[in-house]
Amino acid sequence: MPSADPIASISWPLDGQNSMSQNALFQEMALTALFGHSQESLAQIIEKTGQPAYRATQLWEALYQQRVETLDDITALPKSFRDELKQAGYAVGLPHIQQTFHSVDGTERYLIQLADGQTVETVWMPGGDGGELGDGTEAGDEEEDEELAANDSIENCYKRATICVSSQVGCAVNCQFCFTAKLGLTRNLTAGEIAGQVAVVLNRHRVQIGRDRINLVFMGMGEPFLNYRNFMDAIRLLVKGIGIPEPRMTVSTSGIVPAILEFAREPIRPKLAISLNAPNNRIRQEVMPITKKWNVEILLSAVRQVPLRPRERVTFEYVLLGGVNDGRAHASQLAGLMAIPGLPLKVNLIVWNPGPGTEYRTPEPHVARAFQQRLRESCVPAYIRRPRGLDIYAACGQLKRTLVQIDGAAASAS
């Protein structure tokens, strides 16, 4: 394990801060990218050009509802004005898919390049992975429709798909079982880069919002709540601009308590998932050093402050690590921890997904089922997530910008 404590320097708020400064090229390109601006910000840009105010609405609709990729695609704007925007240095500014990796189960993992040359990973899961099961929302009801999941083929099951989105280049939280942690943190993503991942994947699959059932999970690279302001700005763009309803989004946090309390006051917000992964502070601190800053009791107290929609449940994610946290005694202790009066919740069990360079091991299937059964005996709703994209390093905890696989060893982007 690393000798240094990566959590000690984390303070709140972290908005806009990076572990290393962004280069001048990125700063310039971030300013000229139109995708990522709010409707109010676009109105200010239009006002400075001297164009009629309604041009801002046309630009907003083109960027987010039509998801255009170039200024030339915005045919509602006069060509002369499009040329004027280009001459002023503006561009749509969507990130682009640099590489695509295809799994035998239909999952696709994308290496997405940003304006400064950095890359993050985004995952497309046709049919989802069972993550919404039992969460009380429409997305959860669809996951429970097993007949639909069984009958859909890979070719048409994009009608119900989940996109896993990154929020940072790398991650500073250093969960010991997660391969993204091995990258460290390079920088936060902007709101446009977060929402832009969704836009480019929707375009790739020609998704029609309102017809196709799309869920978003912010469980990719990074800790969303350590990039809180940009993350929430991206949520507003996705809801108000692209048109994806909040109950079709879930954000997972390792437990950044001040951000959870602020999240509780947001008028527009996704569903909440807590990456718990241990039944007590001792084990959690071993696998998630952030527990030193906010222990389980403080974390659960903060979660109780989040108002839930009708039927909505908080999700607690629990990665089963062979011989570490997967025993019957652990399950019993977790069941006691989940006996929280007045808090509708469920537990998602995630069998640890393997990769190179780690000492953890994957529990046997019967161990996971026994753990689930013990929780259910205690009246805790518990579900086992389906691993997706294991063969392309796209499953939960495996995102490490892996480029190729050679004789079972993975080479990663630097």
C-alpha closest to that of 315 among 374, 414, 249: 249
149 and 39 in a single domain? The answer is no
83 and 100 in a single domain? The answer is no
Q: Mind telling me the catalytic residues?
A: 121, 396
d(CA 285, CA 77) in angstroms, rounded, equals: 55
Residue 272 lies in a domain: yes
pTM (predicted TM-score): 0.87
Looking up residue 375, the CATH number of its domain turns out to be 3.20.20.70
Dihedral sign computed on CA atoms, order 105, 143, 178, 185? positive
Residue 19 lies in a domain: no
C-alpha closest to that of 118 among 14, 190, 218: 190
pLDDT greater at residue 91 or residue 397: 91
pLDDT greater at residue 160 or residue 290: 290
pLDDT at 387 > cutoff 80: no
d(CA 199, CA 196) in angstroms, rounded, equals: 5
d(CA 107, CA 84) in angstroms, rounded, equals: 41
pLDDT at 409 > cutoff 80: no
- Domain C-terminal end among 34, 66, 87: 87
Domain interval for residue 74: 24-87
d(CA 139, CA 148) in angstroms, rounded, equals: 13
Range scoring the smallest mean pLDDT among 120-134, 215-229, 307-321: 120-134
Mean model confidence pLDDT for the chain? 85
Q: In 23-155, which ranges are E strands? A: 96-102, 108-113, 119-126
DSSP state of 277: -
pLDDT in tens, 170-197: 999 999 888 888 888 999 999 999 999 9
383 and 262 in a single domain? The answer is yes
Strand partners of residue 348: 317, 383
d(CA 361, CA 323) in angstroms, rounded, equals: 8
208 and 290 in a single domain? The answer is yes
77 and 102 in a single domain? The answer is no
78 and 104 in a single domain? The answer is no
- Angle between the N-to-C axes of helices 191-204 and 228-236, in degrees from 0 to 180, rounded to the nearest 10: 40
Tally the domains of the chain. Answer: 2
pLDDT greater at residue 295 or residue 408: 295
198 and 66 in a single domain? The answer is no
Strand partners of residue 217: 164, 250
77 and 104 in a single domain? The answer is no
Residue 15 lies in a domain: no
C-alpha closest to that of 287 among 330, 325, 252: 325
Helix (H) or strand (E) holding 405: strand 402-406
